[in-house]
Amino acid sequence: MHITDILVTGEPIIYAAMVSIALVTVAIVFLLTYFKKWGWLWREWLTTVDHKKIGIMYILSALAMLFRGGMDAMMMRVQLAFPNLGFLDSQHYNEIFTTHGTIMIIFMAMPFLIGLMNIIVPLQIGARDFAFPYLNALSFWSFFFGAMLFNISFVIGGSPDAGWTSYTPLSGAAMSPGPGQNFYLMGLQLSGIGTLATGINLMVTILKMRAPGMKLFHMPIFTWSTLVTCFIIVFAFPILTVALALLTIDRIFGSQFFTLTGEGLPMMWANLFWMWGHPEVYIVILPAFGIFSEVIATFAKKRLFGYNAMVWSMIIIALLSFLVWVHHFFTMGAGAFVNSVFSVSTMLIAVPTGVKIFNWLATLYKSKIEFTVPMLWSLSFIPSFILGGVTGVMLGMAAADYQFHNSYFLVAHFHYVLIAGTVFACFAGLVFWYPKMFGHKMNERIGKWAFWLFFAGFHVCFFPQYFLGLDGMPRRLFITNIAEWLPLNIISTVGAFGMGLGFAVFVYNIYYSYRYSERETTGDSWNGNGRTLEWATTTPVPFYNFATVPYVDEIDPYVRMKEEGKTTFDETKLKPIHMPSYTGQPIIMMSFLGLASFGLIFEWIPVAIAGLIGGVVMMIVRSFDYDDGYYVSVEEIKRIERKARGL
């Protein structure tokens, strides 16, 4: 086999991408070597099991993926606004919308939220790390290698081109030969392992490691949203795992689960995909709801209105999310009765969602709102998300969906919920908790610029798409030079570039704040408005989080602590702290499984077997690993705490 057999050749854009990838890699290697940072990188980051560092790596990767997915989006928008330019050909366009959708949902939205959960949940419940820190590192690396595998597809082997839904029979071996679709299957499978493990890990952490006295109904709402999300993950992801495995066996080993021949059932893929897929959209929205609730309560300076109703509505949403999947293929033709059942269950979800909206409004009612950047993201979420939710209910009416389905109306709907919901929440949460992670805030003035650009760009981009949909423009279409559509398409593209600019300003703000922001001196960064335990820790957060774990028996415990002039720290109660040791095993194990996946993608079975053997060997090594961690001595804790608290 020759190297040019697997590299994608003959495309100027791809050559440019290859050159830029090579340049960036060389630059990184050079910088690391020049500043002698290899050892630091390995010791402090690649082998870490600290939930705060793993969270930061998740968020950095997610931002990189947001950039990659955003570039895809820009290219599509250019093509749609200037269809006669011949910027992309149809094959390219198919590959780009496929990677855009997959990357944004699987490798951007979920890792971003999981990153925030990683950092914040243990701090909110008074825990010193995850229940299984080693497993947490494993999860991160499985996501990371899955994402890298998926991303190299466009220079090596060719990208998948059957949509992020990868419907069979199109995505089967007969109609999509070659490695492209395998990249999709193996990338998702590998990172799915990590997601599932994180679901279990966080669930155990929340159920078993809360501060003494903290009942479930004392937990901060973001922690609650994480717990509910974990249940959805644990029950939904196995369905995806099985569906991906069946399609992989179809494609690589010639079975006929989803094929047109041999009594295969192509629509069964759609059925299984959406049994996971609909819960998946709630996996990315519930944590977002949690973040908005925290931000709104903090800057309205009030306890969240209707805490219990908020929790129960999340639980009901989680249950219902498993009962609506057919609304994604009403047009399959299962019949009026089946469609009616799922139409009703779909519209039911709007009820608990509405409850949440009214609770946020009631929290804001008659409060003294402080318009910080996280609060701006959260406030603008409410009206924007309502537009997405209402159009969702319209799509949920089966008869009407025969018109809306797969038109730009649908595209506008899911971008309104995913961007105004999930992406706004990621930005809100990152800015809100930024001082906890890096010891300084993000600049407010630049942050507001980023917000307004992104917010305006978002509406200019996606609002016209509702009307494009009503005018009959189908999704996933590459030739759009139809006179009636052109003006709205151009407006939409202008909005997309506005969002791009907003993102660029956001990233610039990270650099600017690193250089110029004031360093935090207290842990309660937002003018002393913190309500939950994460604000009770010092900044920077010591690696063991809490020197002494406080007793908690109410919602928003830090509010009362501050009134009574107390802290979580009680020097008389110090005991040695048991912490897990760092280890290089997770990254090594997952790179072997990454190699195995790579082998399967190109159907090089010996490579796949070699990778698998490596993975199993690493598992055996782990099974006989008796490293029980180490203890931090009382003297050392005292020294760290006194310095941090200025005692």
Partner 1 sequence: MASSKKGIPKNHVIGFILSLVMTVAAAWAAIRSDLPVTWVIIGIMVLALLQAGVQLFMFMHVIEAGSGGGHVPWNMMFHGFALAAILVAGSLFTMSFGFDHGDHGGGSGGGDEQFEEQPEEHAGH
Which residues contribute to the site for partner 1 (CB under 8 A)? 207, 231, 235, 239, 265, 267-268, 271-272, 275, 322-323, 325-326, 333-338, 341-342, 623, 626, 628
Distance (Å, rounded) from C-alpha 97 to C-alpha 334?
28
Closer residue to partner 1 in complex, CB, 330/451: 330
Closer residue to ligand HEM in complex, CB, 98/136: 98
- Decide which of Cu ion, ligand HEM, partner 1, none touches 240; Cβ closer than 5 to 8 Å per partner kind: none
Write phi, then psi, for 440 (nearest 5 degrees): -150, 155
Using CA atoms, how far residue 332 sits from 241, 400, 405, 411, in Å, is 23, 14, 11, 19
Beta partners for residue 630, in sequence order:
579
* CA nearest to 121, candidates 477, 532, 441: 532
Nearest approach in angstroms of CB 510 to ligand HEM is 25
Closer residue to ligand HEM in complex, CB, 389/523: 389
Decide: is 413 part of the binding site for Cu ion (CB under 5 A).
Answer: no
274-282, 393-401, 417-425, 637-645 -> range binding Cu ion (CB under 5 A): 274-282
- Helix 266-300 and helix 408-417, axial crossing angle in degrees, nearest 10: 40
- Decide which of partner 1, ligand HEM, Cu ion, none touches 628; Cβ closer than 5 to 8 Å per partner kind: partner 1
Nearest approach in angstroms of CB 79 to Cu ion is 27
Distance (Å, rounded) from C-alpha 169 to C-alpha 56?
39
* CA nearest to 104, candidates 484, 414, 431, 323: 414
Closer residue to partner 1 in complex, CB, 321/492: 321
Distance (Å, rounded) from C-alpha 645 to C-alpha 599?
53
Nearest approach in angstroms of CB 162 to ligand HEM is 12
Nearest approach in angstroms of CB 560 to ligand HEM is 35
* CA nearest to 537, candidates 425, 426, 435, 635: 435
Residues in 352-381 that interact with ligand HEM by CB under 6 A:
353
Decide: is 410 part of the binding site for ligand HEM (CB under 6 A).
Answer: yes
Decide: is 405 part of the binding site for Cu ion (CB under 5 A).
Answer: no
Decide: is 404 part of the binding site for ligand HEM (CB under 6 A).
Answer: yes
The pair of three-digit structure tokens given for residue 622, joined into one six-digit string: 């782990």
Distance (Å, rounded) from C-alpha 552 to C-alpha 529?
18
Q: How many CB atoms lie within 10 A of CB 173?
A: 18
Decide: is 405 part of the binding site for ligand HEM (CB under 6 A).
Answer: yes
Nearest approach in angstroms of CB 453 to ligand HEM is 22
Residue 45 DSSP symbol: I
Decide: is 287 part of the binding site for ligand HEM (CB under 6 A).
Answer: no
Decide: is 180 part of the binding site for ligand HEM (CB under 6 A).
Answer: no
Nearest approach in angstroms of CB 281 to Cu ion is 6
Residue 550 DSSP symbol: P
The pair of three-digit structure tokens given for residue 186, joined into one six-digit string: 């193996």
Which amino acid, residue 278?
H
* Cα distance from N-terminal residue to C-terminal residue, the chain: 67
Residues 242-281: x where in contact with ligand HEM by CB under 6 A, - otherwise, as a string: ---------------------------------------x
Decide: is 278 part of the binding site for Cu ion (CB under 5 A).
Answer: yes
Nearest approach in angstroms of CB 337 to Cu ion is 20
> What residue has token string 């060719």?
158
User: Sign of the C-alpha dihedral, residues 550, 432, 191, 421?
Assistant: positive
The residues binding ligand HEM (CB under 6 A) are 165, 281, 284-285, 327-328, 346, 349-350, 353, 389, 392-393, 395-396, 401, 404-405, 410, 413-414, 417-418, 421-422
The residues binding Cu ion (CB under 5 A) are 278
